[in-house]
Chains A and B, each alone.
Chain A
Amino acid sequence: MTESRIYLQRAKTNKLVEASLLDEVTDRHLAMWEGSWCPAMEAYCEGRTAGNQPEDHHWDWKWKADEWRPLLGYHSFAIVCEKDLQGLMLVSDFKSARLRVQFGKPVVYVEFVATAPWNRPELRKPPRFRGVGTVMVAAAVELSWELGYRGRIGLHSLEAAERFYRDHCGMTKLGKDRGHQGLPYYEMTEKQAERFRQ
Protein backbone atom coordinates (compact mmCIF):
# COMPACT_ATOMS: atom_id res chain seq x y z
CA MET A 1 0.00 0.00 0.00
CA THR A 2 1.31 3.44 -0.93
CA GLU A 3 0.54 6.57 1.04
CA SER A 4 0.77 9.91 -0.77
CA ARG A 5 0.68 13.33 0.81
CA ILE A 6 -2.16 15.46 -0.52
CA TYR A 7 -3.91 18.62 0.66
CA LEU A 8 -7.55 19.32 1.43
CA GLN A 9 -9.00 22.76 2.08
CA ARG A 10 -10.57 23.44 5.45
CA ALA A 11 -13.86 25.06 4.45
CA LYS A 12 -14.08 27.28 7.54
CA THR A 13 -10.70 28.99 7.06
CA ASN A 14 -9.88 28.15 3.40
CA LYS A 15 -6.47 26.96 4.62
CA LEU A 16 -4.82 23.85 3.20
CA VAL A 17 -4.53 20.87 5.51
CA GLU A 18 -2.16 17.94 5.01
CA ALA A 19 -3.90 14.63 4.34
CA SER A 20 -3.08 11.12 3.11
CA LEU A 21 -4.22 9.36 -0.05
CA LEU A 22 -3.91 5.59 0.28
CA ASP A 23 -4.08 3.33 -2.76
CA GLU A 24 -5.82 0.52 -0.91
CA VAL A 25 -8.93 0.55 1.26
CA THR A 26 -8.05 -1.52 4.30
CA ASP A 27 -10.11 -3.01 7.13
CA ARG A 28 -9.12 0.00 9.21
CA HIS A 29 -10.75 2.33 6.66
CA LEU A 30 -13.87 0.18 6.54
CA ALA A 31 -14.07 0.29 10.34
CA MET A 32 -13.84 4.10 10.15
CA TRP A 33 -16.58 4.10 7.52
CA GLU A 34 -18.81 1.96 9.73
CA GLY A 35 -17.98 3.81 12.94
CA SER A 36 -18.43 7.43 11.92
CA TRP A 37 -19.43 7.83 8.25
CA CYS A 38 -22.48 5.53 8.46
CA PRO A 39 -23.94 7.02 11.66
CA ALA A 40 -23.57 10.56 10.23
CA MET A 41 -25.32 9.50 7.03
CA GLU A 42 -28.08 7.68 8.92
CA ALA A 43 -28.66 10.66 11.18
CA TYR A 44 -29.06 12.94 8.15
CA CYS A 45 -31.38 10.52 6.34
CA GLU A 46 -33.65 9.87 9.31
CA GLY A 47 -37.12 11.21 8.65
CA ARG A 48 -36.27 12.29 5.09
CA THR A 49 -38.05 10.89 2.07
CA ALA A 50 -35.99 8.80 -0.37
CA GLY A 51 -35.85 11.70 -2.82
CA ASN A 52 -34.29 13.97 -0.21
CA GLN A 53 -31.57 11.55 0.87
CA PRO A 54 -28.08 11.60 -0.69
CA GLU A 55 -28.02 9.41 -3.80
CA ASP A 56 -25.26 7.25 -2.35
CA HIS A 57 -26.73 6.80 1.14
CA HIS A 58 -27.33 3.07 0.53
CA TRP A 59 -23.78 2.27 -0.68
CA ASP A 60 -22.35 -0.47 1.49
CA TRP A 61 -18.56 -0.20 1.21
CA LYS A 62 -17.99 -3.31 3.33
CA TRP A 63 -20.06 -5.43 0.98
CA LYS A 64 -18.35 -3.86 -2.02
CA ALA A 65 -14.93 -4.64 -0.49
CA ASP A 66 -15.69 -8.35 -0.36
CA GLU A 67 -16.49 -8.24 -4.07
CA TRP A 68 -13.47 -6.28 -5.32
CA ARG A 69 -10.65 -7.45 -3.09
CA PRO A 70 -9.87 -10.77 -4.83
CA LEU A 71 -10.01 -9.18 -8.30
CA LEU A 72 -6.92 -7.83 -10.08
CA GLY A 73 -8.90 -5.35 -12.15
CA TYR A 74 -10.15 -3.27 -9.23
CA HIS A 75 -8.28 -0.59 -7.28
CA SER A 76 -9.50 1.16 -4.16
CA PHE A 77 -8.48 4.46 -2.60
CA ALA A 78 -9.04 6.16 0.73
CA ILE A 79 -8.34 9.68 1.97
CA VAL A 80 -7.59 10.21 5.65
CA CYS A 81 -7.19 13.61 7.28
CA GLU A 82 -6.94 14.46 10.99
CA LYS A 83 -7.39 10.74 11.76
CA ASP A 84 -10.81 10.65 10.06
CA LEU A 85 -11.83 9.03 6.82
CA GLN A 86 -12.67 11.74 4.28
CA GLY A 87 -13.33 9.84 1.06
CA LEU A 88 -13.49 6.44 -0.63
CA MET A 89 -13.20 5.38 -4.26
CA LEU A 90 -13.31 2.15 -6.21
CA VAL A 91 -12.17 1.99 -9.85
CA SER A 92 -11.79 -0.78 -12.40
CA ASP A 93 -9.24 -0.93 -15.21
CA PHE A 94 -10.71 -3.24 -17.86
CA LYS A 95 -13.53 -1.21 -19.39
CA SER A 96 -13.46 0.43 -22.82
CA ALA A 97 -13.83 4.03 -23.89
CA ARG A 98 -17.02 5.08 -25.68
CA LEU A 99 -16.03 8.49 -27.05
CA ARG A 100 -15.35 8.34 -30.77
CA VAL A 101 -11.79 9.72 -30.47
CA GLN A 102 -10.76 6.93 -28.10
CA PHE A 103 -13.39 4.29 -28.77
CA GLY A 104 -12.39 0.80 -27.66
CA LYS A 105 -9.29 1.88 -25.79
CA PRO A 106 -9.14 0.99 -22.10
CA VAL A 107 -10.14 3.51 -19.47
CA VAL A 108 -9.93 3.61 -15.71
CA TYR A 109 -13.62 3.48 -14.84
CA VAL A 110 -14.76 5.06 -11.56
CA GLU A 111 -17.19 2.52 -10.13
CA PHE A 112 -17.91 4.40 -6.89
CA VAL A 113 -16.58 7.57 -5.33
CA ALA A 114 -17.89 9.34 -2.26
CA THR A 115 -16.87 12.04 0.16
CA ALA A 116 -17.63 11.73 3.86
CA PRO A 117 -20.97 13.18 5.01
CA TRP A 118 -19.26 16.00 6.97
CA ASN A 119 -17.63 17.24 3.75
CA ARG A 120 -20.92 17.79 1.95
CA PRO A 121 -22.42 21.28 1.98
CA GLU A 122 -25.95 19.85 1.85
CA LEU A 123 -25.29 17.87 5.04
CA ARG A 124 -23.12 20.25 7.01
CA LYS A 125 -22.63 24.01 6.76
CA PRO A 126 -19.86 24.79 6.39
CA PRO A 127 -18.49 21.41 5.33
CA ARG A 128 -15.32 20.24 7.09
CA PHE A 129 -13.04 19.83 4.06
CA ARG A 130 -13.19 20.63 0.36
CA GLY A 131 -11.22 18.94 -2.39
CA VAL A 132 -11.88 15.24 -1.81
CA GLY A 133 -13.55 14.75 -5.20
CA THR A 134 -10.74 16.55 -7.02
CA VAL A 135 -8.08 14.41 -5.31
CA MET A 136 -9.98 11.23 -6.17
CA VAL A 137 -10.39 12.14 -9.85
CA ALA A 138 -6.68 13.03 -9.92
CA ALA A 139 -5.88 9.61 -8.42
CA ALA A 140 -7.94 7.89 -11.14
CA VAL A 141 -6.13 9.90 -13.83
CA GLU A 142 -2.72 9.05 -12.33
CA LEU A 143 -3.60 5.35 -12.21
CA SER A 144 -4.67 5.60 -15.85
CA TRP A 145 -1.21 7.00 -16.71
CA GLU A 146 0.54 4.28 -14.71
CA LEU A 147 -1.41 1.58 -16.56
CA GLY A 148 -0.52 3.07 -19.94
CA TYR A 149 -4.06 4.39 -20.54
CA ARG A 150 -2.79 7.98 -21.03
CA GLY A 151 -5.11 9.54 -18.47
CA ARG A 152 -8.35 8.22 -19.98
CA ILE A 153 -11.08 7.73 -17.38
CA GLY A 154 -14.84 7.16 -17.49
CA LEU A 155 -17.71 7.24 -15.03
CA HIS A 156 -21.45 7.41 -14.57
CA SER A 157 -22.36 10.52 -12.60
CA LEU A 158 -25.02 10.90 -9.98
CA GLU A 159 -27.20 13.92 -10.70
CA ALA A 160 -25.75 15.99 -7.87
CA ALA A 161 -22.17 15.56 -9.14
CA GLU A 162 -22.69 16.31 -12.84
CA ARG A 163 -21.57 19.93 -12.62
CA PHE A 164 -18.35 18.91 -10.88
CA TYR A 165 -17.36 16.41 -13.59
CA ARG A 166 -18.37 18.69 -16.44
CA ASP A 167 -17.16 22.09 -15.27
CA HIS A 168 -14.41 21.35 -12.76
CA CYS A 169 -12.92 18.19 -14.31
CA GLY A 170 -13.64 19.15 -17.93
CA MET A 171 -15.04 15.75 -18.86
CA THR A 172 -17.25 15.08 -21.88
CA LYS A 173 -20.86 14.00 -21.37
CA LEU A 174 -22.04 11.21 -23.65
CA GLY A 175 -25.68 11.25 -22.59
CA LYS A 176 -27.83 9.11 -20.35
CA ASP A 177 -27.07 5.40 -20.24
CA ARG A 178 -30.25 3.35 -20.06
CA GLY A 179 -28.12 0.30 -19.24
CA HIS A 180 -26.94 2.03 -16.08
CA GLN A 181 -30.10 3.30 -14.35
CA GLY A 182 -30.32 6.15 -16.83
CA LEU A 183 -27.29 7.88 -15.29
CA PRO A 184 -25.27 10.21 -17.55
CA TYR A 185 -21.93 8.80 -18.71
CA TYR A 186 -18.83 11.03 -18.72
CA GLU A 187 -15.39 10.43 -20.17
CA MET A 188 -12.02 12.17 -19.96
CA THR A 189 -9.71 12.08 -22.96
CA GLU A 190 -5.93 12.18 -22.90
CA LYS A 191 -5.99 15.91 -23.69
CA GLN A 192 -8.60 16.63 -21.04
CA ALA A 193 -6.52 14.64 -18.54
CA GLU A 194 -3.46 16.76 -19.34
CA ARG A 195 -5.50 19.92 -18.77
CA PHE A 196 -6.94 18.56 -15.53
CA ARG A 197 -3.48 17.70 -14.20
CA GLN A 198 -2.15 21.26 -14.72
Chain B
Amino acid sequence: MIENNKRTMTLNLTPREMAVLEQLASAKDLSKTGVMRLALRLLQAVDSKTRLGQKLMFEDEKSKEKSELVLL
Protein backbone atom coordinates (compact mmCIF):
# COMPACT_ATOMS: atom_id res chain seq x y z
CA MET B 1 0.00 0.00 0.00
CA ILE B 2 1.42 3.36 -1.01
CA GLU B 3 0.39 6.08 1.43
CA ASN B 4 -0.55 9.41 -0.12
CA ASN B 5 -0.51 11.40 3.11
CA LYS B 6 3.04 12.77 3.05
CA ARG B 7 4.97 15.25 5.18
CA THR B 8 7.75 17.52 3.98
CA MET B 9 11.20 17.80 5.52
CA THR B 10 14.33 19.70 4.58
CA LEU B 11 17.46 17.62 4.20
CA ASN B 12 20.85 19.33 4.43
CA LEU B 13 23.61 17.38 2.74
CA THR B 14 27.31 18.06 2.28
CA PRO B 15 28.51 18.38 -1.34
CA ARG B 16 29.98 14.86 -1.12
CA GLU B 17 26.74 13.42 0.22
CA MET B 18 24.77 15.20 -2.50
CA ALA B 19 27.17 13.88 -5.14
CA VAL B 20 26.66 10.34 -3.87
CA LEU B 21 22.89 10.83 -3.80
CA GLU B 22 22.93 12.08 -7.38
CA GLN B 23 25.15 9.22 -8.49
CA LEU B 24 22.86 6.68 -6.82
CA ALA B 25 19.76 8.31 -8.30
CA SER B 26 21.31 7.98 -11.74
CA ALA B 27 22.48 4.39 -11.21
CA LYS B 28 19.17 3.27 -9.71
CA ASP B 29 17.07 5.20 -12.23
CA LEU B 30 15.24 6.93 -9.38
CA SER B 31 14.65 10.48 -8.20
CA LYS B 32 16.75 11.70 -5.23
CA THR B 33 13.64 11.41 -3.06
CA GLY B 34 13.17 7.87 -4.36
CA VAL B 35 16.72 6.98 -3.31
CA MET B 36 16.19 8.37 0.19
CA ARG B 37 12.94 6.43 0.56
CA LEU B 38 14.61 3.25 -0.69
CA ALA B 39 17.48 3.76 1.77
CA LEU B 40 15.02 4.18 4.64
CA ARG B 41 13.10 1.02 3.79
CA LEU B 42 16.28 -0.96 3.29
CA LEU B 43 17.83 0.23 6.57
CA GLN B 44 14.65 -0.61 8.47
CA ALA B 45 14.50 -4.11 6.92
CA VAL B 46 18.16 -4.81 7.68
CA ASP B 47 17.88 -3.36 11.18
CA SER B 48 14.88 -5.56 11.97
CA LYS B 49 16.84 -8.67 10.93
CA THR B 50 19.97 -7.77 12.87
CA ARG B 51 17.86 -7.08 15.97
CA LEU B 52 16.71 -10.69 15.74
CA GLY B 53 20.34 -11.82 15.79
CA GLN B 54 20.72 -12.33 12.03
CA LYS B 55 23.80 -11.21 10.10
CA LEU B 56 24.11 -9.24 6.87
CA MET B 57 26.63 -11.08 4.71
CA PHE B 58 28.22 -10.38 1.34
CA GLU B 59 29.64 -13.17 -0.80
CA ASP B 60 32.09 -12.80 -3.63
CA GLU B 61 30.53 -14.74 -6.52
CA LYS B 62 33.86 -16.02 -7.80
CA SER B 63 35.93 -16.70 -4.68
CA LYS B 64 32.89 -17.47 -2.47
CA GLU B 65 34.63 -15.41 0.20
CA LYS B 66 32.12 -14.06 2.72
CA SER B 67 32.23 -10.85 4.70
CA GLU B 68 29.85 -9.52 7.28
CA LEU B 69 28.56 -5.97 7.25
CA VAL B 70 28.24 -4.82 10.84
CA LEU B 71 25.64 -2.13 11.42
CA LEU B 72 25.86 0.31 14.27
Do these two chains really belong together in a complex? yes
**B42 contacts the other chain (CB 8 A):** yes
Q: Is the CB of B48 within 8 A of A143?
A: no
* B1 engages A75 (CB within 8 Å): yes
Given that A23-B1, A94-B38 are contacting pairs, would A148 and B44 also be in contact in the complex, using a CB cutoff of 8 Å? no
Distance in Å: Cβ of B47 to nearest Cβ of chain A? 10
Whether the Cβ atoms of B29 and A150 lie closer than 8 Å is yes
Interface size for chain A: under 10, 10 to 19, 20 to 34, or 35 or more residues? 20 to 34
Chain B residue nearest to A24 in the complex (CB): B1
Which A residues lie within 8 Å of B34 (CB)? Answer: 147-148
Contacting pair A93 B41 (CB below 8 A)? yes
Known: A71-B41, A73-B41, A147-B34. A106 touches B28 (CB 8 A): yes
CB neighbours (8 Å) of A179 from chain B are 59
Whether A70 contacts B28 in the complex (CB less than 8 A), given A94-B41, A147-B2, comes out as: no
Main secondary structure of the interface of B (DSSP, over half): helix
For the complex formed, measure the closest distance between the CB of B18 and the CB atoms of chain A, giving whole angstroms.
Answer: 20
Query: Is A50 positioned at the interface, with any CB of B under 8 Å from its CB?
Result: no
Q: Does A181 belong to the interface (CB within 8 Å)?
A: no
Is B50 in contact with chain A by the CB < 8 A criterion? Answer: no
Residues of A within 8 A of B1 (CB): 1-2, 23-24, 75
Taking a contact as CB atoms under 8 Å apart, the answer to whether A71 and B30 are in contact is no
What sequence of 0s and 1s flags, for each residue 61-83 of chain A, a beta carbon within 8 Å of any chain B beta carbon? Answer: 00000000011111100000000
**Residue A182 is within 8 A (CB to CB) of chain B in the complex:** no
Apart from A104-B28, A143-B2: 16 A-B pairs, beta carbons within 8 A: A1-B1, A23-B1, A70-B48, A71-B48, A73-B42, A73-B45, A92-B45, A94-B45, A105-B29, A106-B28, A106-B30, A106-B38, A146-B2, A147-B34, A148-B31, A148-B34
Query: Which A residues have a C-beta under 8 Å from some C-beta of B?
Result: 1-2, 23-24, 70-75, 92-94, 104-106, 143, 146-150, 179
B residues whose Cβ falls under 8 Å from a Cβ of A: 1-2, 27-31, 34, 38, 40-42, 44-45, 48, 59
